[in-house]
């Protein structure tokens, strides 16, 4: 592990540009980085185990060679992307809300509405950025969020070098790096507590010799004053006092969800690809060659290869030799049962919801039971989200706690009937929060409209919903 103290030591012995280069090179050799790169391939439905698999045979000399005549179907499943998307959107699909800072305001029509001031200060794209950060945290094990005054930027492990403090374990600095291709220039940004420095390399294959125009760290926050006479002018600069890059862990295990899941996905993909290959290779017909004992092993191998490529062969039957075709069926049922077992194991071990296990018309009790493993994993994930969001809020200068509305299927009619039966004992806001088809963001507008309707009814009793005048 290349730590913050290692970085400072290299900077003092050489220079900061060389230390940045060393940090990136060391990071790309870590298990964390390699696992993240591998997780990206599975996330893109490019199973490297399947793609790198080569079917081989032994030739007449007993040497193992690639079998160019064999079918080599490579079928990759989408389990990894689907299950991680399910876990992430289950908690963050509806965004997050905050309840500690809600103010009343008047809209353009003069109606009173409630405004979540915390959400307003975080910006319109905060929910989207938080979902991206959370997804990368799941598949990579950790991701990093950079708070840039009014916007959250996502730094995945494949583009960010964390520099941890050896004594406290805190993130003291970090390096964001990227390039378009191996022969294109690389850009690296060093984020420190006192500002950031941008480094760039020249063109060249894997060239990482960095240089910078200004070694002085630039501040994270700049105050600009604009006047018609003088134009824009910087009138103030400041930093946060701490590093504005916050780690977002995917779970308490601090590891990628690919760990333990990869072997099951590989087994499923290999069995399914092998079944397709067998169907193509067998072609449902094979031959038994009789009265051809005079052929040596080399001749038989040539005969086999010719039959597999052309599907026919010449035969001299004057001496009694003949070829008899037979049909052959590839075993299916045993493989299908094994695939079903692996599929069920993947969902069970990951804690995901397999919709095929929920029968049509199931009651909410049955649906809740199916969701139990997913709820347990969501609790763990949401604790990580809360810790991450609170650190971001601390940079903004707010103390608040996010509230989640989980994105789940349910028997909405049964749930709605239950809420309406208890509505007379609950206030309007609680009733709206319990209804399954209303999102958290819609509640303030609905309450404001109901308040307006009540005010109008009080002002004009003839508008009472009974249809009768007050008199």
The answer to the question of residue 456 being in a domain is yes
Q: Is residue 394 part of a domain?
A: no
Percent of the chain with pLDDT over 70: 80
Residue located via tokens 């052959």: 328
Contact between 46 and 38 under an 8 Å Cβ cutoff? The reply is: no
Tell me, yes or no, whether 452 lies in a domain: yes
Question: What total number of domains does the chain contain?
Answer: 2
Q: Is 164 within the bounds of a domain?
A: no
Boundary of a domain, candidates 274, 297, 327: 327
Residue 201 lies in a domain: no
| Residue where a domain stops, chosen among 327, 359, 381 | 327
More confident call, 357 vs 258: 258
The number of residues making up the chain comes to 471
* Least confident range of 70-74, 84-88, 162-166: 70-74
Average pLDDT of the chain?
A: 83
Establish if 462 belongs to a structural domain: yes
Tokens of 190: 């060093």
297: domain range?
Answer: 285-327
**Residue 291 domain-assigned (yes or no):** yes
pLDDT reported for residue 173? 97
The model's pLDDT over 121-160, given as tens digits with 9 standing for 90+, comes to 999 999 999 999 999 999 999 999 999 988 999 999 999 9
Mark which of 273, 298, 327 sits at the end of a domain: 327
- Point out the least confidently predicted range of 72-81, 153-162, 387-396, 413-422: 413-422
| Token pair of 160 as six digits | 């960010």
CA angle at 215 for the pair 213 and 220, rounded to the nearest 5°:
100
Give pLDDT tens digits for 13-60: 999 999 999 999 999 999 999 999 999 999 999 999 888 776 666 666
Reference 190, options 24, 411, 374, 371; nearest CA is: 24
Instruction: Look at residue 311 and tell me if it is in a domain.
Output: yes
Spatial separation of the C-alpha atoms in residues 436 and 323, rounded to whole Å: 69
């Amino acid at each position: 592990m290349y730590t913050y103290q290692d970085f400072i030591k290299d900077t003092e012995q050489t220079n900061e540009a060389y230390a940045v280069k060393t940090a990136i090179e060391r990071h790309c050799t870590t298990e964390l980085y390699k696992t993240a790169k591998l997780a990206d391939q599975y996330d893109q439905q490019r199973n490297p185990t399947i793609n790198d698999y080569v079917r081989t045979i032994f030739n007449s000399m007993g040497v193992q060679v690639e079998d160019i005549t064999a079918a080599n179907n490579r079928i990759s499943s989408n389990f990894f992307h689907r299950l991680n998307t399910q876990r992430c959107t289950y908690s963050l699909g509806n965004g997050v809300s905050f309840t500690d800072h809600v103010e009343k305001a008047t809209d353009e029509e003069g109606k009173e509405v409630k405004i979540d001031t915390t959400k307003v200060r975080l910006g319109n794209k905060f929910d989207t950025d938080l979902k991206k950060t959370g997804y990368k945290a799941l598949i990579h094990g950790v991701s990093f969020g950079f708070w840039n005054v009014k916007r959250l930027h996502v730094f995945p492990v494949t583009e960010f070098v964390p520099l941890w403090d050896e004594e406290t374990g805190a993130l003291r600095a970090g390096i964001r790096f990227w390039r378009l291709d191996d022969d294109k220039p690389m850009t690296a940004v060093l984020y420190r507590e006192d500002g950031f420095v941008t480094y760039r390399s020249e063109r060249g294959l894997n060239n990482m010799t960095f240089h910078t125009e200004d070694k002085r760290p630039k501040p994270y926050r700049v105050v600009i004053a604009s006047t018609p006479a003088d134009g824009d002018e910087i009138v103030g600069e400041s930093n946060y006092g701490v590093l504005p890059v916050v780690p977002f862990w995917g779970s308490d295990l601090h590891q990628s969800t690919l760990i333990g899941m990869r072997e099951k996905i590989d087994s499923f993909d290999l069995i399914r690809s092998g079944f397709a290959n067998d169907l193509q290779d067998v072609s449902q017909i094979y031959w038994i060659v009789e009265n051809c004992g005079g052929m040596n092993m080399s001749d038989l191998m040539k005969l086999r290869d010719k039959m597999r490529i052309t599907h026919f062969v010449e035969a001299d039957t004057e001496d009694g030799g003949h070829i008899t075709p037979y049909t052959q069926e590839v075993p299916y049922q045993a493989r299908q049962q094994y695939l079903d077992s692996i599929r069920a194991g993947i969902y069970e071990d990951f804690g995901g919801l397999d919709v095929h296990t929920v029968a049509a018309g199931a009651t909410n009790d049955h649906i809740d039971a199916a969701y139990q493993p997913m709820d347990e994993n969501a609790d763990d994930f949401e604790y990580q989200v809360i810790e991450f969001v609170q650190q971001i809020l601390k940079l903004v200068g707010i103390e608040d706690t996010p509230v989640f509305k989980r994105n789940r299927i349910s028997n909405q009619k049964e749930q709605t009937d239950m809420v309406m039966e208890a509505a007379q004992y609950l206030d309007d806001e609680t009733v709206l929060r319990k209804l399954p088809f209303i999102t958290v963001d819609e509640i303030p507008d609905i309450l404001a409209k109901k308040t307006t309707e009540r005010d109008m009814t009080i002002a004009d009793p003839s508008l009472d919903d009974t249809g009768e005048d007050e008199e």
